[in-house]
Structure 1
Amino acid sequence: MSAYQQRFEELLGALRTALQPGEQFTLGYSAEQSQFVRLNHAKVRQAGLVSQASVQLRLVSDGRQAEQQITLGDDAELDRQRLHAALAQLRQTLPLLALDPYLSLDQSAWHSHSLQEQALPELDDVLALVECEAGDLDLVGIYAAGPVCRGFASSFGAFGWHQANSFNFDWSLFHANGQAVKANYAGQAWSGEAFSARLRQAREQLQHLGRPAITLKPGSYRAYLAPAAMDEIAGMLGWGGFSAQALATGNSPLQRLYNGDARLSPLVSFDEQVTGSLSPAFSDEGSPRRDLRLVAEGQAQQRLVSARSAAEFALAANGADSYEAPCALSLAPGDLPTADILERLGTGLYISNLWYLNYSDLPAARMTGLTRFATFWVENGQIQGPVSTMRFDDSLYNLLGSQLEALTCEREMILSTSTYGQRSTGSSHLPGALVKGLTLTL
């Protein structure tokens, strides 16, 4: 048992003994020990270690619920005192609240335990490799690595523990003209060869940025969207695309898909692939997660249903978090080898990244955003030069529907770089996409 799990179970024991008749609780736990390094000009400019932990206590009684987050420290007795103080405050708060008509608790005594302790690279080895491979480049980025923990327990006997080591290196290479190539290498098993290959690819793209910029007129262009660009599109689908609540209220960008009024390409199959991911096998509401087929060969299948949506819309909960967004979205691969991308593209756009996406027409699943970071114009399978930043505006039913020509065989595992409050456990597993037409508006 890890020290993190031991501390969590000690707090759980203290909470159980303090519970009064008629009260139920859930206790969520989050912790990390993360090494952060910020680099500029491929040199270390800032380094530090973040060690933090907190619990989310929810008290339920007589159809009412209230919750409070507690930051934990290094003193076990002080943490217990804070937990008891929070419990007392929630007891005072509950009678003041209205009945919650959609209060729903998983009362099963499920158990889940996952410990992913793959050895992380020594920081000195990572930095030595960066200096060797990128010492002459203007590399700007952040490296983060270490264990992330999530726990959950309830008064009904449920208990879940998830602890996983991971690393995430997010960087950009800047050209003297101010243009940049953005790249990322993340995962659980560090490979110096894989990192060097990713850096060499970025270096090659950086050389192309030195050519004169090409300005395109608005119109529809053949295009290849790299996995990082696809990740931006997939991230937009997390805004209610598969959410039971959004679909039930008519606020989902995939409303037409789930209503059966539209289809995506038969090449498209989306899954919520919790198994093998960095995300815990239980939700923040305390339900076991399972793998879900969201879209099968272009047709809608399951949706993400939280406990609250299940109660409100008479559905069966399937382990979704309260915000009903995918935690480990996976798009099935296609048959296009990565080595053949430029040849198959022929003449068109090679798009490494997309930026600042939003919905321009949500019911039509129409997205708008900017090309950025190494978007190139390709002719006859050869990169001609960088393309000036352009705005695209197109529907998902085009990009992953009628205009989708192929998906790559190889996929990239992309870990969330979010560190807002704490390191995220979200991820996506995505191929690149070759499309017959992408609409640029200005």
Structure 2
Amino acid sequence: MPQLAAQQYTPVNAWFDSTANLSAADRAKAALSALEIARTSGDLKAAGYLVTTAGALAIGNSTGMFAYHRSTNANYTLTVRTSDGTGSGWAAADNADWAQLDARRVAETASAKAKLSRNPVAIEPGRYTVILEPQAVGDIVQLISQYADARSADEGRSPFVKQGGGNKVGEKIMDERVTLFSDPSDPQLQGRPWDFEGMPLGRQVWIENGVLTQLIYSRFWARKQGKTPTGGPSTFKMAGGTQSVDDLVKGTTRGILVTRLWYLREVDPRTILYTGLTRDGTFLIENGRITKSLRNFRFNESPLFMLNNLEALGRAERVAGTEQGGDVVMPSLKVRDFNFTSLSEAV
């Protein structure tokens, strides 16, 4: 493919002096909010990472393309464990603007989950109604973007292959409440408005009201198919509702609350089926309240299956990093028939 000529980019304000000018004392104060809770309780141990960045990226070529973007980011992740080793809680926050990051809330949430998750009990694996917090949703739903390549679909190597040939663009593939999009200008995302080829990135809707609206086209495949290239998006958001996680819990007769997932690995690329584990706070819900801490589970699940079993959406929140990376905003979800396949010994 020839090199890109000069392009037009939509400016995205992702630079905040509150983050760029953060002092060591500011960081220490945030860390102390967790350490003070742990020390006061006498039976908690806290450890975390507080990472701030400030920088700029620029790319250009000899044919006139030049792209520049500067940004800041503050990321705080915290794990709190009980001294007896049976309970573990986790919470995190991520924002371009340090002034919007509530370190105290992170510390209080992780500490409360650690205490609540003490002495977990085992229940039989199986299919359950599950409430996934935004971090857990991010890890599994963002996987869709890794399989949305148009060439793979057109050549029959994708979950979005249409029976008889072609792809499923224009078909309803999941619950009508699901809308997934990329938009560097979204105030919750504030992403880089170009990809590493220099292609401009704007608002792109991948799934709207459950219908697959477009796939990701490289410059090469777009030219071959007579389509418009999309660029390689680095932001990913699922539109949410208005309920909090607590609201979803209150509306559940029996189910399981999952704080987050980890160690996701591919099982079947044709259905985006993955296996992974829950961690750092898994709880039984009975009659609208958390009644027990549960041992962690291994699961086998696909975001395509899961988003066809949707019961309710919570508020969309920026998550503090996923295995796939990028700027990600997800709601909490309540889904039925989530497939837990076995128990895990991990805390």
Query: Which residue is equivalent to 1:117?
Result: 15
Shift in alpha-carbon separation, 1:341–1:150, aligned structure 2, 3 A = same
Q: Secondary structure at the residue paired with 1:397?
A: helix
* Correspondence 1:176 to 2:83: yes
How far the C-alpha of 1:111 sits from its partner, in A, is: 5.3
Shift in alpha-carbon separation, 1:308–1:104, aligned structure 2, 3 A = farther
Query: Which residue is equivalent to 1:92?
Result: none
How far the C-alpha of 1:417 sits from its partner, in A, is: 6.9
How far the C-alpha of 1:199 sits from its partner, in A, is: 1.9
Q: Is the 8 A contact 1:237 1:253 kept in 2?
A: no
Write the distance in 2 (CA, Å) between the matches of 1:193 and 1:262.
37
* Correspondence 1:394 to 2:288: no
1:167 to 31, 50, 74: 74
How far the C-alpha of 1:353 sits from its partner, in A, is: 0.7
Query: Which residue is equivalent to 1:272?
Result: 182
How far the C-alpha of 1:293 sits from its partner, in A, is: 0.5
Q: Is the 8 A contact 1:133 1:199 kept in 2?
A: yes
* Correspondence 1:412 to 2:317: yes
Q: Secondary structure at the residue paired with 2:30?
A: helix
Structure number with higher relative contact order (C-alpha < 8 Å, ≥ 6 residues apart): 2
Q: How does 1:70-219 map to 2 (within 5 A)?
A: 103-110=1-8, 113-114=11-12, 116-118=14-16, 119-120=18-19, 121-135=22-36, 136=39, 137-178=44-85, 179-191=87-99, 194-210=102-118, 212-219=119-126
Shift in alpha-carbon separation, 1:313–1:358, aligned structure 2, 3 A = farther
How far the C-alpha of 1:288 sits from its partner, in A, is: 1.1
Q: Is the 8 A contact 1:142 1:169 kept in 2?
A: yes
How far the C-alpha of 1:126 sits from its partner, in A, is: 2.8
Shift in alpha-carbon separation, 1:435–1:115, aligned structure 2, 3 A = closer
Shift in alpha-carbon separation, 1:109–1:267, aligned structure 2, 3 A = closer
How far the C-alpha of 1:127 sits from its partner, in A, is: 1.4
Q: Deviations over 1:399-435 (max 9, x none)?
A: 111x200110x221124378x9xxx7x2111100001
How far the C-alpha of 1:133 sits from its partner, in A, is: 3.9
- Count of residues in correspondence between the two structures: 326
* Contiguous gaps of at least 5 residues in structure 2: 343-347
Write the distance in 2 (CA, Å) between the matches of 1:351 and 1:111.
39
**Percent identity of equivalent pairs:** 21
Write the distance in 1 (CA, Å) between the matches of 2:69 and 2:156.
35
Shift in alpha-carbon separation, 1:125–1:263, aligned structure 2, 3 A = same
Runs of 4+ in 1 over 4 A off after TM superposition: 111-115, 259-262
**Farther-moved stretch of structure 1 (308-317 vs 197-206):** 308-317
Q: Is the 8 A contact 1:274 1:280 kept in 2?
A: yes
Q: Is the 8 A contact 2:299 2:341 kept in 1?
A: yes
Q: How does 1:61-76 map to 2 (within 5 A)?
A: none
* Contiguous gaps of at least 5 residues in structure 1: 1-102, 321-325
How far the C-alpha of 1:366 sits from its partner, in A, is: 2.3
Rg (Cα) greater in structure? 1
* Correspondence 1:315 to 2:213: no
Write the distance in 2 (CA, Å) between the matches of 1:197 and 1:129.
10
> Which one has a larger percent helix, Structure 1 or Structure 2?
1
Q: TM-score, normalised by structure 1?
A: 0.68
Q: Secondary structure at the residue paired with 1:367?
A: strand
2:269 to 348, 358, 362: 362
1:245 to 151, 161, 186: 151
Write the distance in 2 (CA, Å) between the matches of 1:303 and 1:375.
35
